[in-house]
Amino acid sequence: MKNDEAKFILHAYRPNGSDAGDATFGEALKQAKQDPSINQWFTAQQAFDRAMCAKLGSVVVPTGLRESILAGGKLDGTQTAQARPLWWRSPLWMGLAASVAVLLVVSVALWPQTAEAQPGLIDFALDDTLRMAHGGHGEEAANLRKTLSRSDLQLGNGVVVDFDELKKQGCRTISFNGYEVLEVCFNRDGKWFHCYVARASDFPAIAAKLKPTFRDRTGASAAAWVDGQHIFVIASKAGREAIQRLI
């Protein structure tokens, strides 16, 4: 099975695990276990699906909605059913309903791509680095800063972070597309760098597609990658070569 085919099938896999015994998904799941790229994509996709289900599940249906809908189709007692067709069978209403259905399908299908097309997390980090509006405190942030400053640590080999504890203790927290991103400044070999950490589950579309990437901007450079449950961006005015030595 090719990766594209496996992704196509796994798009229909429900995030609650109820499809685990369905033979339809057997080969695709096996492919996801064998191929790290598919596994990473599938993990992010399932996180996105769970988030969507949670959001939809929190929607409260207005009181009396059913009665209001049914009342709209009732006769007023002066006409027969043959004389007054039900409103929802009108060509106009059926056309509008079809249009809404198409818009919903297209919106859901393009949601990840639309989010991806917005200003990216890397560009956001670069803009923030150039503004130099940094701060934050707390023991957890200080420990992370100390770890990142170690000259013998290659960041691409993995960095352990506790997102919730960092935020709780006062690590600088900023918002990107409605979700929280943490930022810690650190110094290595006399140069300043800025480490941005985001939850992969908050940005599943980015996490699913992000490969180790470098981005250059006038005055600053950045590198980004996905490491387990987190997305990391390292940005600095020191230039790409200085960042490459960290990775």
Q: 119-246 has which CATH code?
A: 3.40.1000
pLDDT at 113 over 60: no
Give 82 or 125, the one with higher predicted confidence: 125
| Mean pLDDT, range 69-78, rounded to an integer | 57
Q: Supply the pLDDT for residue 55.
A: 66
90 secondary structure, DSSP code: S
Q: Supply the pLDDT for residue 99.
A: 54
Interstrand relation of 213-217 and 179-188 (parallel, antiparallel or unpaired):
unpaired
pLDDT at 237 over 90: yes
Question: 225 exposed, middle or buried (CB, 10 Å; 0-12, 13-18, 19+)?
Answer: middle
Domain ranges of the chain: 3-57, 79-116, 119-246
Q: Supply the pLDDT for residue 112.
A: 42
The answer to whether the CB of 204 falls within 8 A of the CB of 44 is yes
Residue 117's alpha-carbon distances to 56, 110, 112, 205, in angstroms, are 24, 10, 9, 10
pLDDT at 106 over 60: no
Q: What angle do CA 184, 225, 35 make, to 5 degrees?
A: 145
Number of residues assigned to the chain:
247
Q: Supply the pLDDT for residue 195.
A: 94
Give 75 or 19, the one with higher predicted confidence: 19
CA 197 remoteness from chain centre: 13
Would you place residue 60 in the very low, low, confident or very high pLDDT band (cuts 50, 70, 90)?
low
Cα 208 from Cα 63, distance rounded (Å)? 39
Give 34 or 81, the one with higher predicted confidence: 34
| Mean pLDDT, range 132-140, rounded to an integer | 71
Would you place residue 70 in the very low, low, confident or very high pLDDT band (cuts 50, 70, 90)?
low
pLDDT at 114 over 50: no
Question: H or E segment at 82?
Answer: none
Q: What is the pLDDT of residues 165-217, one digit of tens each?
A: 999 888 999 999 899 999 999 999 999 999 999 999 999 988 888 888 899 99
Q: What is the pLDDT of residues 162-171, one digit of tens each?
A: 999 999 888 9
Q: Supply the pLDDT for residue 238.
A: 94
Cα 175 from Cα 171, distance rounded (Å)? 13
Question: H or E segment at 198?
Answer: strand 191-199
84 secondary structure, DSSP code: S
